[in-house]
Amino acid sequence: MNENINSYYNFEQMRKFRERGVIIPDLNSVRIGYEVAQENISAGSKLHPFVRINGSKTEIHAGANIGPSGPATLDNSWIGENAVVGSLGSVTLKDTVVGPESILGSGVAEQAVLLGKESKVNNFSTGYGFRIRKGSLYEEDASSAQHTDTKMTVLFPWTTLGSNINFCDVLLAGGTGPESGFFSEVGSGTIHFNFSIRGDKATASLFGDVSSGVFLDQQRLFIGGNNSLLGPIQAEFGSMTAADVRIKGELSAGLNFGHSLPKGKIDYDPRIFLGAMGIVKKQVNVLAELTALFHWYEQIRISCIAQTTQQKFIYESGLRIVKLNHQERLCHLQSFMDALDNSHSLSLKSESVNKKEIAEQKHLLERWPDIQKQLAVPANFKLTVPNSLKNDIAKQQAQGKATYTKLIQNLSHEGNQSGKKWLKSITENVRNIFVEEIRK
């Protein structure tokens, strides 16, 4: 490896880590950059051979096990207590937060957050060959198996992805526990197609929602293996799909058999967008749910539930990912509108586009600047958390109930219902911006 040895702690300095209680079996094969403060690597953590640690923001907490099955590289990454990084092979983490008890197999993560494990039902958070890209948020006990790829993806507690899956620009909720048959699941070989034939990414999908989903009491979703998911999709809780099908549009509760394509071909100009109003409406709906999730993190997880500085940091990191997703969706909506402007010009010259579509595109383009401005800041949609919800959380914590998922599931009926009403009001306020502007 071509590296500047002078930028790392030398052998004698490495011995001081060991003297402080950091377990380093082979001092010669571990590299820690000078910018990493010694106190950032806690006693009781273990650094196996061929571990490289860089970045002033890197922290490794007690009980963390780094690189047990292969080389591990950490760059400005935060590893929680008793987390395992590299249970199946080599791992590279950059700007990533790995919550306590997480177990990462082999792969790469960048600008991502895993909140950690609270149950021992399975023994992994990620399997072999994972790729967790920018904007991925794995909440408590969310997991993925072999060869999975996520980007701008939010997985709620217990949700799981099978093997050989590409699942980007998606929010997946649902389920009531970590046991088999209770969590939302995406079958192996499934792909969420998040890049349209038009060349845009106004394609984010919602499987479940935030305003009910965060309360962990909704029916699970099951997406069959080898599904072709054509974003944007909106799926109700309780939706299921058969294996090896093509899915688009909306999924209702029950078993969905997908949509087949007719044979042959048609004339098609990808520069001309049809159904633009419906596409934008669906993406505003995604923004509405992300806005609700923003306030759940800020006002519930961080302000009410976090009991330690570590827990607060993890939740703040999760909030950062939620904001990143919100910005991403708004950015792609703007790109869609830029392309729509060109589409509108072409539609005026086309005989195949009806007048209603042309008029809708023109009106949407006129109203978009005001819509975008009002949707840009999630914090502007703040509503006061119901006292019944806050008091319910405080009461449980006073009784010693600390794990996030159990605390939420043990909310009283009043706390649960008032919380859902609060978050739904936030999402409705976001949607109403779009509705009211389009009416003008």
On whether the CB atoms of residues 52 and 36 are closer than 8 A, the answer is no
pLDDT computed for residue 344 by the predictor? 86
Distance, in Å, from the CA atom of 134 to the CA atom of 137, rounded to the nearest integer, reads 9
Q: Could you list the pLDDT tens digit for every one of the 440 residues in the chain?
A: 445 667 999 999 999 999 999 999 999 999 999 999 999 999 999 999 999 999 999 999 999 999 999 999 999 999 999 999 999 999 999 999 999 999 999 999 999 999 999 998 888 999 999 999 999 999 999 999 999 999 999 999 999 999 999 999 999 999 999 999 999 999 999 999 998 888 899 999 999 999 999 999 999 999 999 999 999 999 999 999 999 999 999 999 999 999 888 888 888 788 888 889 999 999 999 999 999 999 999 999 999 999 999 999 999 999 999 999 999 999 999 999 999 999 888 888 887 788 888 899 999 999 999 999 999 999 999 999 999 999 999 999 998 877 999 999 999 999 999 999 999 999 999 999 999 999 98
Q: What is the pLDDT of residue 369?
A: 97
Find, among 114, 59, 172, 100, the residue nearest to 318 by Cα: 114
pLDDT value for 256: 97
Helix (H) / strand (E) element for 299: namely none
Q: Distance (Å, rounded) from C-alpha 395 to C-alpha 408?
A: 12
Q: Side chain identity at 431, as an amino acid letter?
A: R
The residue ranges of every structural domain in the chain are: 5-256, 279-439
3-state secondary structure of 162: coil
Q: Which residues of 62-77 are buried (b: 16+ CB within 10 A; e: fewer)?
A: ebbbbbebbbbbbbbb
Q: Which pLDDT score is estimated for 5?
A: 65
Q: What is the pLDDT of residue 267?
A: 82
Gyration radius from the chain CA atoms: 23
- Tell me the torsion sign for CA atoms 168, 170, 171, 177: negative
> Residue 2: what pLDDT?
46
Q: Which CATH architecture has domain 5-256?
A: 3 Solenoid (2.160)
Q: What is the pLDDT of residue 1?
A: 42
- Decide: helix, strand or coil at residue 257: coil
CB atoms within 10 A of CB 94: 17
Rounded distance between C-alpha atoms, residue 23 and residue 44, angstroms: 6
The overall longest dimension of the chain from CA atoms, in Å, is: 79
Residue with tokens 């600390």: 402
Q: Quote the CA–CA distance of 35 and 106 in Å, as a whole number.
A: 26
**Separation between Cα atoms, residue 67 and residue 26, nearest integer Å:** 12
Would you state the pLDDT for residue 368? 96
How far, in Å, CA of 152 to CA of 204, rounded? Answer: 9
* CA pair distance 180, 422, nearest whole angstrom: 31
CA gap 151, 110 in Å, rounded: 10
- pLDDT for 406 equals 95
Query: Which residues does residue 78 pair with via DSSP β-bridges, in sequence order?
Result: 59, 97
Looking at residue 260, its pLDDT comes to: 83
Backbone angles phi, psi at 109, to 5 degrees: -135, 145
Tokens in use for 37? 């403060």
User: Which residue in the block uniquely carries the two structure tokens 């969905």?
Assistant: 256
Beta strands in 111-147 (DSSP E): 113-114, 126-132, 137-138, 143-144
Give the 3-state secondary structure of residue 34: coil
Helix (H) / strand (E) containing 282: helix 276-295
Cα 112 from Cα 137, distance rounded (Å)? 6
The confidence score (pLDDT) of residue 167 equals 98
Q: How far apart are CA 324 and CA 43, in angstroms?
A: 33
What pTM, to 2 d.p., does this model score? 0.96
